Structure 1
Amino acid sequence: MTFLEELGVDKEQWAKVIYRFPALLTYSRPKLRATVDFLYEMGLSAECVSKVLTRCPNIISYSVEDKLRPATEYFRSMGVDVGVLLYRCPQTFGLSIEANIKPATEFFKDKGFSMTEIATMVSRYGALYTFSLAKLVLKWEFFLTMGYPRTELVKFPQYFGYSLEERIKPRFGIMTDKGVRLLLNQMLSLSEDGFNKALKRKLQKLIDN
């Protein structure tokens, strides 16, 4: 644990770190060093490395040569800033390239997205590839019924992170009933109060016009 303290991991966060990943205590100092050195190699600052280890300590369990480096090379080939992705969503690098990452890429390519657009989506929403294909399919199919252009997903890939039954469908239904149209991110990311206010403003504009 002294090594983690040297890396800047706040002592007050140790309990959370161990709770999230108890097996951390079983890893050797060389294994910890290998992961940390890799994060530095990817351009992360000492502060960012500390935050990654605090938020996602199980990154220590990922093999540098079998997981982290191959995933890095794959995302880099797409045009993704891997340093930013590692910081925002390190768990993405624990996914299997063949079983998870490539199928997700192919899914979006099959839907007409270019590699540049896919890279933009991943960069904007690092957790995008952590969802199962089944969930991506369900939300994509509903998206097609909403009448938004595909570019809305490039701008707001976080759409795939919202609950279909608890957020997307209810808010789309309310918006449709009101006869107005909000941007996809407005419809989903606003608080309940903000969403209602946005609807009222849209309705008022329709009345004024």
Structure 2
Amino acid sequence: MCPELLSVPVGTITAALRFLTDEAGVPAEDLPRVLRRRPRLLVSPVAARLRPTLYFLRALGVPDLPRRADLLSFSVEDKLLPRIEFLESLGLPSRAARSMARRFPALFYYGIDGNMRPKAEYLLGDMARDADDLFEFPEYFSYALATRIAPRHEACAARGVRMPLPAMLRPGDDKFRATLAGCVGSTPPRRRSPLWHAYWVDDAGEVEEIGAASQP
């Protein structure tokens, strides 16, 4: 819901619609979907909000912006930059933090104190990992801490297994348990090993069964 729509001048709405199609490249047939998802776009001033955010996201290199047009209503100063700065505060270089946001723009939707900070603290503390793991897998922030991240980490720790984050978090429960059972007493491949991706997470995002990489 966007109560401001009831009082915003018609000219503001018209200007926003024109901007979305003419400058942001949103196809006219996609406008209903975009506006249902983010009606606030219609009350966002073009010069003060929509255009600066578009330029920032383009400079950042975020791909397929017409499909992510709902991001355009976010403030660069109040919403986008603080998330990049938070990633930098974890010890990531500015270039790495911006790369994470470019590869996984959903980061801009997550709250810092309610989402990103507790998950980062858990990873750096309880999981004894470092910020490089976040750089490799920014999707980590999309998983629930209490019901996905912590239980799976604890299950791995209880068996002395350290999985790459994608292998630990992406698969469904049955696949995760089967993979974990096969990992006990084994050593996972190094991240830079050519076996790491094929052995742990296939191109569809599914975890391969142990030994699958060695099968003909």
TM-score when normalising by structure 2:
0.69
Structure 2 partner of 1:102: 81
1:25-69 per-position Cα deviation (integer Å, ceiling 9, x unaligned)? 666664443223222312333344343123222322222222111
Gaps of 5+ in 1: 1-19
| Residue of structure 2 aligned with 1:60, choices 39, 42, 46 | 42
1:128-173 per-position Cα deviation (integer Å, ceiling 9, x unaligned)? 1233332322221111132445333233212123222222111110
User: Matches of 2:117 and 2:27 in 1, distance apart?
Assistant: 37
Alignment length (residue pairs): 186
Q: Aligned in 2, Cα 1:203/1:58: closer, same or farther, shift over 3 Å?
A: same
Letter in 1 for 2:15: A
Letter in 1 for 2:60: M
Structure 2 partner of 1:8: none
Structure 2 partner of 1:6: none
Gaps of 5+ in 2: 188-209, 212-216
Structure 2 partner of 1:172: 153
User: Matches of 1:64 and 1:54 in 2, distance apart?
Assistant: 19
TM-score when normalising by structure 1:
0.71
Query: How far is the alpha carbon of 1:199 from its aligned partner?
Result: 1.5
Q: Aligned in 2, Cα 1:185/1:37: closer, same or farther, shift over 3 Å?
A: farther
Letter in 2 for 1:58: R
User: Matches of 1:100 and 1:176 in 2, distance apart?
Assistant: 35
| Residue of structure 1 aligned with 2:57, choices 75, 97, 117 | 75
Please identify which structure carries the higher helix content.
Answer: 1
The one of the two structures with greater contact order (alpha-carbon pairs below 8 A, sep at least 6) is 1
- Superposition CA RMSD, Å: 3.0
